[in-house]
Chain A
Amino acid sequence: EAGVVQSPRYKIIEKKQPVAFWCNPISGHNTLYWYRQNLGQGPELLIRYENEEAVDDSQLPKDRFSAERLKGVDSTLKIQPAELGDSAVYLCASSFQAGATDTQYFGPGTRLTVL
């Protein structure tokens, strides 16, 4: 079974440039998460989707971040414009449902460096 796929794996951009990350979850998983992991820290939730609906985006900086999950399958996270403080690893995860005991499966992440 294929795992969560993310691309690109690495991205280096200059500040004020736009950037986009793509995620394809495990087939059949209804719930998709985007997390941000700063160096030396644990991941922090940015947004959670159930099917195509964003049901928790309270931690997403909406002035510069946007996300979409068309047709309830793959998802794109965008930053425009990027700032130096956005340098981090962006993780996508999926789960079959969103219950408190459900296992989340993580992709390898996209490491973003903003110069």
Chain B
Amino acid sequence: GDSVTQMEGPVTLSEEAFLTINCTYTATGYPSLFWYVQYPGEGLQLLLKATKADDKGSNKGFEATYRKETTSFHLEKGSVQVSDSAVYFCALPSGGGRRALTFGSGTRLQVQP
């Protein structure tokens, strides 16, 4: 079945460092791909998405490019801030009609001042 694999955390960075969180997927066809973020004490919220191959999703300085050749959707940010500390989840639609999300296990990011 469809699945998502994320790099394990925690990832600890200093403020203004470059961030990469790896995500690879296994799926039939070319589903949309999502990154969700969960800040401490809050619910998951959509960070960005890409709906077809070679698309780049971007939001709040984060970017991810849908690469079908490597079945990847890595999350990047050029300069992280303390406020980016959160858990990041890669996800894809799956199941009957691709109407629910399958999530990776999440990657915790800790940014130190």
Contacts and interface: CB of A to CB of B under 8 A. Distances in A.
Interface of A: 3-4, 31, 33, 40-45, 48, 55-56, 91, 93, 98-101, 103-109
B93 to A, nearest CB: 4
The A contact surface, by secondary structure, is: loop
Interface of B: 4, 31-32, 36, 41-46, 49, 51, 89, 91, 93, 95-106
A40 to B, nearest CB: 7
Ranked nearest first, the 3 interchain pairs of A and B with the lowest CB-CB distance are A42-B103, A106-B43, A98-B99
B89 A42 contact: yes
Contacts of B96: 55-56
A33 B101 CA distance: 10
B80 to A, nearest CB: 22
Contact of A42 (B45, B46, B97, B106): B106
A56 B42 CA distance: 26
A106 B45 contact: yes
